[in-house]
Homo-oligomer: A and B are copies of this chain.
């Protein structure tokens, strides 16, 4: 009986993590589909007057995903140059930006590594601390774990998808 309850709880935990992971995957795929849909020039448009261009938002999302590699302790960032261009500066702060082809490659490469890593993580890995929180702080704030990072990134992607759709002729239902 006790073992059965234990198994149920463990199965519940796995199922919930899998559901969050599905949300991350589907939001990520939605961005990929959007950026593979049009010619490169299309993405040089601002999503609304005076706001970021779509190409900047792709760099921003790629840089954000790249940061997960170090936050999850998988590896160093693959493209540390994205941070200055897309995470700590607004669009058009620099004269030159990577091309759409480069950014698409970064985005897909980083997400492919993350997806592979995520698929192997166990519940205790998801609930372990990310690399930016100390052991001492984590003892007091156990919600600062990797799963929380994933939830927040899935939400972050959705936030920007809500902006990118303004470039589509019709605003699709979400």
Binding site for B on A (CB under 8 A): 2-3, 5-6, 9-10, 12-13, 15-20, 22-23, 27, 47-49, 51-52, 90, 123-124, 126-127, 142-143, 147-148, 151-152, 154-156, 158-163, 166, 171, 174
Contacts and interface: CB of A to CB of B under 8 A. Distances in A.
A67 to B, nearest CB: 14
A7 B19 CA distance: 22
Nearest to A164: B162
Contact of A147 (B19, B48, B155, B161): B19
Contact of A155 (B2, B23, B51, B90): B23
Contact of A163 (B17, B20, B154, B163): B163
Contact of A162 (B9, B123, B162): B162
Contacts of A18: 143
Nearest to A52: B171
Contacts of A22: 143
Contacts of A123: 9, 12
B161 A159 contact: yes
Contact of A174 (B3, B10, B159): B159
Contact of A158 (B12, B13, B19, B155): B155
Contacts of A124: 12
Nearest to A23: B151
A140 B46 CA distance: 44
Contacts of A17: 16
Given A12-B123, A51-B171, A143-B22, A159 B158 contact: yes
A162 B158 contact: yes
Contact of A9 (B9, B27, B126): B9
